[in-house]
Amino acid sequence: MTFSIHGLAVSRGVAIGRAVLVASSRMDVAHYFIRQTDVEAEIKRVRAARNQVVEELQRLQLSISQMSPKDAPPELGALLDVHLMLLQDTELEAGIKRWIVERLYNAEWALTAQLDVIVRNFDEMEDPYLRERKGDLEQIVERILRAMRGVANPVAVSPRSTPKNAAQDLLLDDTVDVPLVLVAHDLSPADMLQFKQSVFAGFITDVGGKTSHTAIVARSMDIPAVVGARTCSQLVRQDDWIIVDGDAGVVIVDPSPIILAEYSFKKRQLELERGRLSRLLNTPAVTLDGEKVQLLANIEMPEDAQVALKAGALGVGLFRSEFLFMGRRGNLPDEEEQFVAYQRAVQDMHGLPVTIRTVDVGADKPLDASTHDAAHLNPALGLRAIRWSLADPAMFLTQLRAILRAAAFGQVHLLIPMLAHASEIKQTFAHIETARKQLDKRGLAYGPIKVGAMIEIPAAALTLPLFLKYFDFLSIGTNDLIQYTLAIDRADESVAHLYDPLHPAILQLVAATIAEGHKQGKEVSVCGEMAGDVSLTRLLLGMGLRSFSMHPAQILAVKQEILRADAKRLAPWAQRVMASDNPALLLSGGGI
Ligand code: PEP
Ligand code: MG
């Protein structure tokens, strides 16, 4: 039966495919695709683990049978019988095999996927005794997973670690040509990054806001996505056909043929629109009245620099370096590893500027998915970004040295996140100086850098003279500026309706930062999601913004808006929008 689920539209486009539910069980397992040639080995691996658990339980059964009746709890024997029966159930084995053979899931993933299927069937059972067997099944799956950890040592096939990866194999493999849509309760930004370059045609999560970092990564992957879909991962079943409408924020499950035809048509239209936009690739971004606009890219990993260049970016306006630090289980990248990563991005941009932001972990960007900050009530107000760096000078100096060294290979701008206090500014510059001295002492080459501040805390936007005194440029992080000005958690879907880039307070802070920076002859850009939102391009131009940094996939659509705009006429209109009680209304009128 067709039904729809409404969430938040975070990444444009339409995806149609089979649902892949991940991590919906409470077990933390790796999800990766195996190669076709590894199918047999993977089936053997799970079978060996299952047999090992069967032997363990049989041994236990034997030892119970040898106990005196008063020591042997009768319920334990019955429980072991049930577990052994479930373990030898053919449905479990056949299902696991199917996920491995047909979908090329790794054994652990296949096991938990099949667990989901069986658990659903249990849930629907009338008989309470049988319904309760669900818990037993989960226990035996956990046992098998534990046995697998001991039997073999699977290494996750990371699409980034091998030039020709499993995901590419999967794409080339015509036995698995069904598009897949990933459905999860939640995905950390690091998890999401793992799926970059993977086969998924779309993403859906139950939680998350429009500018949560998971949503940002989905957008950067240019794959249709819906977040904040509430109970989606409970309503959708493994392998359901599913449509993701990333423009409307709607998920359609089990679509009827008519709906499917309609969305296939919409998908083709969007592809045609993209084709048309690609003609603007080499057109300079200049308004009708001759104002030049700089279009830069936001990237997460060094290899994204090439994508940015191909998308027509004239530089990197934001390299979120924290993604190098995430999912490392505490094993943070050393100076050499970071240097190589930054150098690669710098060299790939062939002399165009690369703005490297120092690490910004914390809040909805934990270092590891499992280290969500539960200890503090408001992690977004806690030890995040520059606060984290200043709290760990050795780590900060390591990063600064790596960035300074990469600057010997091209134009590097250093960007500092989450500054609010004069003391933080002073400490930051003192550390930059120390890093230079350390490199001098070691005789290592480094290059000149411009240093910029993110304006993303209202306190910073309200004390611009202080920032302009020290920094060469400013970059407005509207995602956090909105979060902190309006007191709206950007990752919380329950308050997503209040997360409003057009709130007059936001418009005033953004406009004032642009105006004040330009008055002092300093470059100001916007690198938050507002920069890539085509419905806001004219307004930002009218405020005087001439440098936009966004996901590479948005660059051409924003460029099209710029080419059609008359900046001189937009300036007075932008003033009217800002003075209005209802800026959204004026904006939807299309302006001038
Ligand atoms: C921002 O806050 O707008 C920004 C660009 O930084 P991040 O989204 O990484 O917090
Ligand atoms: Mg930010």
The bound ligand whose nearest atom lies closest to the alpha carbon of 475 is: 1
pLDDT of residue 76: 65
Q: Which ligand 1 atom is the nearest neighbour of the CA of 360?
A: 9
pTM of the model: 0.76
| Residue nearest to ligand 1 atom 4, measured at CA | 477
| Residue nearest to ligand 1 atom 3, measured at CA | 477
Residue 345, token pair as written in the block: 């991005």
**Residues 414 and 403: beta-carbon distance below 8 Å:** yes
Give the mutation target among 188, 210, 320 for probing the ligand 1 site: most ligand atoms within 8 A of CB: 320
Neighbouring C-beta atoms of residue 32, cutoff 10 Å: 22
Residue 112, token pair as written in the block: 């938990």
Residue 526 near ligand 1, beta carbon < 6 Å: no
Identity of residue 545: L
CA 244 – ligand 1 centroid, Å: 25
Burial class, 589, CB count within 10 angstroms (exposed 0-12 / middle 13-18 / buried 19+) = exposed
The tens digit of pLDDT for each residue in 111-142 reads 988 888 887 777 777 676 666 677 778 778 88
Q: SS in 3 state form for 85-119?
A: HHHCCHHHHHHHHHHHHHHCECHHHHHHHHHHHHH
The tens digit of pLDDT for each residue in 29-54 reads 778 888 999 999 999 999 999 998 88
Residue 320 near ligand 1, beta carbon < 6 Å: yes
Whether the per-residue pLDDT at 169 is higher than 50: the answer is: no
CA 246 – ligand 2 centroid, Å: 23
The bound ligand whose nearest atom lies closest to the alpha carbon of 481 is: 1
Q: All domains of the chain, ordered by start, with CATH?
A: 3-27+160-276 (3.50.30.10), 36-149 (1.10.274.10), 281-587 (3.20.20.60)
Q: What is the C-alpha to C-alpha distance for residues 541 and 562, in angstroms, rounded to an integer?
A: 8
pLDDT of residue 168: 29
| Residue nearest to ligand 1 atom 10, measured at CA | 480
**Where is mean pLDDT largest: 146-155, 204-213, 347-356?**
347-356
The tens digit of pLDDT for each residue in 14-27 reads 999 999 887 544 45
pLDDT of residue 24: 45
The bound ligand whose nearest atom lies closest to the alpha carbon of 212 is: 1
Identify the H or E element spanning 63: helix 39-66
| Residue nearest to ligand 1 atom 1, measured at CA | 477
Torsion sign across C-alpha atoms 185, 187, 188, 191:
positive
Cα-based distances in Å from 310 to 11, 162, 222, 349, 377? 20, 22, 14, 10, 42
Q: Which ligand 1 atom is the nearest neighbour of the CA of 213?
A: 8
Residue 477 near ligand 1, beta carbon < 6 Å: yes
Residue 527 near ligand 1, beta carbon < 6 Å: yes
Q: Which ligand 1 atom is the nearest neighbour of the CA of 216?
A: 8
Coil, strand or helix at 69: coil
The bound ligand whose nearest atom lies closest to the alpha carbon of 211 is: 1
CA 45 – ligand 2 centroid, Å: 44
Residue 364 near ligand 1, beta carbon < 6 Å: no
What does the pLDDT average to over 445-473? Answer: 98
Q: What is the C-alpha to C-alpha distance for residues 362 and 378, in angstroms, rounded to an integer?
A: 11
Give catalytic residues, as residue numbers.
Answer: 213, 527
Whether the per-residue pLDDT at 153 is higher than 50: the answer is: no
CA 476 – ligand 1 centroid, Å: 8
Whether the per-residue pLDDT at 354 is higher than 90: the answer is: yes
CA 409 – ligand 1 centroid, Å: 26
The tens digit of pLDDT for each residue in 410-456 reads 999 999 999 999 999 999 999 999 999 999 999 999 999 999 999 99
Give the mutation target among 322, 479, 484, 489 for probing the ligand 1 site: most ligand atoms within 8 A of CB: 479
- Torsions phi, psi of 419, nearest 5? -80, 145
pLDDT of residue 334: 97
User: For helices 335-348 and 393-406, what crossing angle results, to 10°?
Assistant: 30
Which ranges in 211-302 belong to alpha helices (H)? 213-220, 232-235, 257-277
pLDDT of residue 423: 98
Q: Which ligand 1 atom is the nearest neighbour of the CA of 483?
A: 2
Neighbouring C-beta atoms of residue 258, cutoff 10 Å: 9
Residue 428 near ligand 1, beta carbon < 6 Å: no
CA 386 – ligand 2 centroid, Å: 11
Q: What is the mean pLDDT of the chain?
A: 87
Q: What is the C-alpha to C-alpha distance for residues 180 and 22, in angstroms, rounded to an integer?
A: 12
pLDDT of residue 138: 79
